[in-house]
Structure 1
Amino acid sequence: MYSISIEPESLMPRERLLLEGAETLSNQELLAILLRTGTKGQSVFSVANGILNSLESLHELKELSVQELQGLSGVGKVKAIEIKAMIELSKRINQSTYRQMEQILSSEKLAKQLMQHLSEKKQEHLLAIYLDTQNQIIKQETIFIGTVMKSIAEPREILHYAIKYMATSVIIVHNHPSGRAKPSPNDDQFTMAIKKASELLGLVLLDHLIIGSDEYYSYREETDLL
């Protein structure tokens, strides 16, 4: 009787994933698993490597449309659709993870979760997160999506849902499509208006978060307005 030992580096990505876990694989190996096959002139690893080398960062991959993915060497229509579907599913998993949080424990944790959803938006989105007395999330509502003619929501739109859901506190979140999280004078005025209106209803404005591409701004952490 004799045994054959297999060195980890000689394993194909699928076998490595089974034996060592997905987290041990490189970006190239993970993408190769999704692509499954290469082309007549390129192996699947060469195709995966070529795609990654054509991007400035991995983040850029999720911003590509199906048509743009098809423009990458070795990626046809079917592969482009599968990659896009994988990216969308991973985004929804991240969003679901946030929604399943039992409590809002910190502005930083909440902001980092919301970056998954808001940092890539090309228009301004304003969300309101309604909470109960234990800071448990009751409901999240998209209050407003920016247009050319309008760039901010009215306090009454936010407070309408607070009354509907019998919330005791609320967190306001909006993104800056420019990628910078620095608040504007309009953001300051809006925060003060929401705080004042909330207090009239006995509602606590816990925070107003501004989401940038890779940063956030918390009014509770950075100012004495809240």
Structure 2
Amino acid sequence: MGKDKLRKFAEVATFLNVVQLDEGKPYKGKWASEFFKNEKPLILELACGKGEYTVNLAKLFPEKNFIGIDYKGNRIWRGAKTALEDGITNVGFLRIQIETILEYFEKGEISEIWITFPDPQPQDSREKKRLTNPVFLERYKHILIPQGIMHLKTDNDGFYAYTLEQIELQNLPKNKETTDLYQSDLVDEVLSIKTYYEKKYLAVDKNINYVQWRFNKEGE
């Protein structure tokens, strides 16, 4: 590991807006009341990388709480540092493997989940790692409020098609969808937030896919 990564790992351990691994488990069911010290709705960004979406959503919606989740501490460092420097108090970061998410959030604790430019895991042998496979979707459904909203932004057409297939197989209602976000009428101040990776894709004229869906209520 390079010196810069080591420095960031050491520094992120001192940030009050970052919780790492088992440190987050006592907050299960109590993130709003004990971590943020309020009762505002809680929104997650999964595979948040440098945290651009998490931080910018928090700026746009001070009436909500936001947590960016990723396993790479040197990436979380950037978003967490920006939030601290800018005095953004409704944002935090959690360094965990997303596979363990049920250990950190209680049933119905989350209002919305964003998945922004995740690793598409294109090999068939790695389907279980895709963040929209049926196992992950079941975990999200558990921690979301009834009819909680899911968002996906991705440049990867194959992963987008796979996600739509999973949504359709489960007969889940889609609210919005497009295979070319910036040529659609869906783009607004929220969807126009751009991550580090999205900027790279747009620079080479890559289309951006977006879909918003929700889980059915019990009995639907």
> Do they fold alike, i.e. is TM over 0.5?
no
User: Relative CO higher for 1 or 2, CA cutoff 8 Å, sep ≥ 6?
Assistant: 2
Instruction: Tell me which interval the TM-score lies in, with the shorter structure as reference length.
Output: 0.3 to 0.5
Q: TM-score, normalised by structure 1?
A: 0.32
Larger radius of gyration: 1
The structure whose residues are more often strand, as a share, is 2
Q: Which has the higher helix share?
A: 1
- Normalised by the length of structure 2, the TM-score is 0.33
